[in-house]
Structure formats: C-alpha cells, structure tokens
Structure 1
C-alpha cells in the first residue's frame, strides 16, 4: 500500500466517497428523495447546496439517493454477471465437447444482438422494477464475462499442474475452483472493474431512455433526463450527475488498473 501510485489513490478516494455516500444516503441527505422543497431550478444557496431540480426537489439529496440506486444496481448486476459468466466459462473450458459448443453458440447468439436493444426489447414487455433491471443487465453482460473466462481457462487448462491434478483423480469441480480459478483472477478482477463501469453507464442510459429506474426513485441517468431542458437556459442541473458518472467510471478504472498491475507483479514474484 505504501507503493500505491498517485492515480490509484485518487481513484480510491472518489470510489470511497461515492460508495460511502451510497451506503449512508439516508443519513447524509438533507431532504427526502422525492420531497419538493423549493421553486423550480433554484440557484445554489445555504439551504440547497446544489440548487433544486426541474420540479423543486433538492438536487444534492437527489444526487445522493441517485448514487445509492445507481451503485446498488450496478454492483448487484456486476456480481450476477461474474458469478454466472465465470462459472459457465470455466465449466465450458474444462469439460469441452458438446457442453462447450452448446454454451459458446448460445452466447454467440445473444451477443449478436446489441445489449442495449436487447434490454430495451425485454424491458418494454416486462414490469420495470429494480430486481428485473438487475437480472436483465446481469444476464446480458454475463456473455462478455463468459467469453473472457473461457478464453483464460482454455489456456490454463493445458498447463502441467492441471494435467497433474487430472492424473491424481481430481474431479472437474475441484480443478475449476482450485486450479484454474485462482490463476484466472487477475484478468477477471480487471474485467470486473470495466464491467462495473459498463453497468453504471448501462443503467444510466436505460433511465435516460425511460426504461430504467422509474420515478419517484432517483438515479443519475434519470436526473439527467429530468433536468436536460435546463441546459438551454444555462442551468447545470443535468451536468452534475453526468460529472458523477464520469468521475466514478474513471476512478474505478484507475483502481482496477492498479489491482491488475499489483496482482500480476505478485504472481510474477511468486513464479520467480
């Protein structure tokens, strides 16, 4: 930790601020999520540190609650994506044969359709709730994780220590979780950061298009949509959540890059 680069420190700082704000949103938000407390688009003041939004709600409170919703959905969808995609990808690489072909062709079929169009189609015929959003986003993104984990596991599966485990009579499950998964963690951890960023952008895009988080709940993409008309009048209410999305994405990327570099160097040191 004493050799952590300055860029990673910046990333860790912003990630910590956003995640702590999401965890303690009910404590630190000065007003309720949907509470109307002033006039439309009031300027910054002592009562409203970021002003008010398009219907008079405190923008700082909306940003805090919106960060909680955005980060929760993105984190849950990323976890679902990695659990599903990694297990299926490692299984396909280790077992091979018709199992690998069936899973791989199924993933190719899903990936042939752009993820946003697929999600919009599914959500247009289903009730748009937070659990549905998490499941749809997580399962769609698990195809990317499947491709990565399968590619990494295919290279590892032919290593001598994996062959030695097979000769010892170890089962497929033991080989996947004790031989392959620990050696595939570095690229998977780095990819997890990128997938989390994608999830933040994905849920924000869905909300901006009207098929994401539904009012009166707040999320950053929805706040942009609610206040986009103010940009014409020089009101920056829509730019604040856009700035939050950008800084969170950059910060997570900086941390993921540092973790990848750190785990790779540690692995290289152990191998040496």
Structure 2
C-alpha cells in the first residue's frame, strides 16, 4: 500500500497557504465538487433516476431541495450531476488536448507543408460557430456519450491547436532547439524533450480554461436537449426540466445553474493564480 510522503504533503499545504484567498477559495470549491462527484452514491438518499414522489414537490425534510418534473429528488440529481457533468467534461478536455497539442507541436516542428495543411484544416473548422457546428454533428451522429465526447473534443481541439502552435513556434526557433537539430535529433524527440517542457505551464493553464468552456458547452447542449441524455443526471438538463418553477418564484432551477457558475468561477480563479505563479508575477 502506497503512502504519500510527508514532504509532499507539507509542500502541498505550504503552497495552499501561500496562495491568495481567491485561489484558496477556488481550490476548496473544486475539492468539494470532486468529493461530491466521487462519493455521490454514498451521500444521496435515493437512486440517480429513482422516482420518489410527485412532480415539483416543495422543499421538505424528505426532499431537502424538492423534486423535479418527474418526482426525482433534486439533491440526489445534483450530486450525481456533478459526477456526470464534471467527469464527461474532464474526459472531453483531455481528449481535445491530446489532439490539439499533438497537432500544434507537429505544425511547429515538422515541415512548412505540415504546418500549412494543419492550419488550413483548423481554419475551416473554426470558421463555423462551435455551438452550431456541435448541434449539426450531434444531430447526424446521435447524442450518445461517446459521440458527445468525440464531437466536442474535435471541435475544441482547434483552439488548443492554435495556442500550442503559437507558443511552440516561439520556442522552436531558439538556439538550444537549433542545436538539437544540428545534433541530428529526430523531430519527435525535439517536440517532447525540448519544446513541450518549455510550454507546459501555458498548456496547463489553458487546460483549466478549456475545461471551463467544455463544461459550459456540455451544459448548454444538455439544456437544449442534445447533450447528456436522460435518465442520466446533468445540471444543464436539470435547469431545463425545472425552469417552469421560476414563474412561481421557486429558486430550485437556480441551484444547478449556480453549481455550473460556481465551478466555472473556481476553476478560473485557480488558473489565474497558476499563471501568475508560473510567470513569476506576485500578487500585491
């Protein structure tokens, strides 16, 4: 059984204590969301799709946040929504980065023709608004989770490609990269050993921002009915299912919407702090 070394724990606590309050707040929020996502089956009183009452029951001791349009417990759905929405968004962002960063590094390292072909292909994909393109592709390929992840990852990889190519080109012309080429190092070696380590902080920060955008896009698609499909819990579809309660002054629809907004803000706060730390800037 592996144990985290005490020095690693102390280092992590020290970095947390040294971070500004905004970053600490963001990290605490992200940690709470992750715990809820991981422990959702143990924290909730009912099943994810279990109908336990009548539709739109008010908040009570039995249903702390009421029920939705089908009589499912809202508290349970919100907890499982964290697992589904965050998990799918993370996998989608990871896949988008795998595609976009690899293509961006290749465009900056290989021949000019490689750069031109990849850049023009990305230009074509980026010329169509992302949400409209996603709606079109999902209507063609279906709304299963693999299709949703693949479509959004490919579309979002174009943004990752642009950033990776821009920062990698700046590094690819530096002296130590030219020396590696003169030594006869292969392009893949140059990409992974010379260029990638020097642009990693920028890519890590962009990963956090991309995660927020992907997370919001998935929620928007679910709100429109072509994202994560029922009975799977998702915050976007939960806003749609309970939206009618706003007309009666019930704040229940604002709960999943607030969960979406809070996570997006928390991630951005942590990313801002990471960028400042990586760039050597200090908060006043």
Q: TM-score range by the shorter chain?
A: over 0.9
Q: Does 1:216 align with 2:244?
A: no
Q: Does 1:35 align with 2:50?
A: yes
Map residues 118-267 of structure 1 onto 2, 5 A cutoff.
Answer: 118-265=133-280
Q: Does 1:111 align with 2:126?
A: yes
Secondary structure of residue in 1 paired with 2:56:
coil
Higher mean displacement: 35-44 or 142-151: 35-44
Q: Residue 6 of structure 1: which of 21, 32, 37 is its match?
A: 21
Distance (whole Å) between structure 2 residues aligned to residue 23 and residue 140 of structure 1: 28
1:50 equivalent in structure 2: 65
Higher mean displacement: 25-34 or 197-206: 25-34
1:25 equivalent in structure 2: 40
Distance (whole Å) between structure 1 residues aligned to residue 144 and residue 41 of structure 2: 21
Q: Deviations over 1:182-236 (max 9, x none)?
A: 1111211111111000011100111111111111111000000101111101122
Distance (whole Å) between structure 1 residues aligned to residue 174 and residue 116 of structure 2: 22
Secondary structure of residue in 2 paired with 1:24:
helix
Q: What is the Cα deviation at residue 168 of structure 1?
A: 1.6
Distance (whole Å) between structure 2 residues aligned to residue 66 and residue 247 of structure 1: 14
Q: What is the Cα deviation at residue 264 of structure 1?
A: 2.3
Q: Does 1:84 align with 2:99?
A: yes
Q: Deviations over 1:106-148 (max 9, x none)?
A: 0000000011111100111222111111111111000000000
Gaps of 5+ in 2: 1-14
Distance (whole Å) between structure 2 residues aligned to residue 96 and residue 260 of structure 1: 31
2:11 equivalent in structure 1: none
Distance (whole Å) between structure 1 residues aligned to residue 141 and residue 107 of structure 2: 31
Distance (whole Å) between structure 1 residues aligned to residue 194 and residue 68 of structure 2: 53
Higher mean displacement: 32-41 or 241-250: 32-41
TM-score by length of 1: 0.95
- Number of matched residues? 267
1:270 equivalent in structure 2: none
Indicate if the aligned counterparts of 1:41 and 1:235 stay in contact, CA closer than 8 A: no
TM-score by length of 2: 0.91
Secondary structure of residue in 2 paired with 1:43:
coil
Q: Does 1:97 align with 2:87?
A: no
Distance (whole Å) between structure 2 residues aligned to residue 30 and residue 140 of structure 1: 38
Gaps of 5+ in 1: 267-272
